[in-house]
A = this chain, B = another copy of it.
Amino acid sequence: MLCALNLAEKGRGWTSPNPMVGAVLVNKGEIVGEAYHRCVGKNHAERAAIKKAGPKAKGATLFVNLEPCCHIGRTGPCTEAIIKAGIGKVVFSVRDPDPRVNGKGARILKKAGVTVESGLLKKQALQLNESYFSYHKNKRPFVILKMAQTLDGRIATVTGDSKWISGPQSRKLAHRLRAEVDAVVVGMGTVRKDNPALTVRLVKGNNPYRIVLSQSLNFPRRCRLLDSNSDYKTIIATNGAAIERFSRTKRGRHSLIYWSLRTDSDGRLDLHDFITKAGEFGFHSLLVEGGSTTATSFLKAGLVDKYIIIMAPLVLGSGISAVGDIRARKLADAVSFDRYFFQASGTDNVFVGYPKRTE
Chain A residues near B (Cβ < 8 Å): 149-154, 157-159, 161-165, 296, 299-300, 307, 309, 311, 313-319, 321-331, 333-337, 340, 342, 344, 349, 351, 353
Copies of this chain held together in the complex: 2
Are B335 and A315 interface neighbours, CB within 8 A? yes
Bound CA span A296–B318, Å:
10
* 10 shortest interchain CB distances as A-B pairs: A153-B153, A317-B326, A152-B153, A315-B335, A314-B334, A318-B325, A317-B323, A342-B349, A152-B323, A316-B334
A159 to chain B, nearest CB (A): 5
A241 to chain B, nearest CB (A): 30
Are B340 and A313 interface neighbours, CB within 8 A? yes
User: Can you report 12 A-B residue pairs in the complex whose CB atoms are below 8 A from each other?
Assistant: A150-B153, A152-B321, A153-B154, A157-B334, A158-B329, A159-B329, A159-B330, A296-B317, A299-B315, A307-B315, A316-B335, A317-B328
Bound CA span A27–B176, Å:
59
Q: Chain B residues near A151: list those with CB within 8 A.
A: 153, 309, 351
Chain B CB within 10 Å, residue with most, of A331, A340, A353: A331
Q: Given that A151-B351, A163-B331 are contacting pairs, would A315 and B319 also be in contact in the complex, using a CB cutoff of 8 Å?
A: no
Closest to A353 in B: B313
Q: Which of B162, B318, B323 contacts A331 (CB 8 A)?
A: B162
Are A329 and B161 interface neighbours, CB within 8 A? yes
Task: Give 5 A-B pairs besides A153-B321, A162-B331, A317-B323 with Cβ atoms closer than 8 angstroms.
Answer: A157-B334, A159-B330, A315-B334, A316-B331, A316-B335
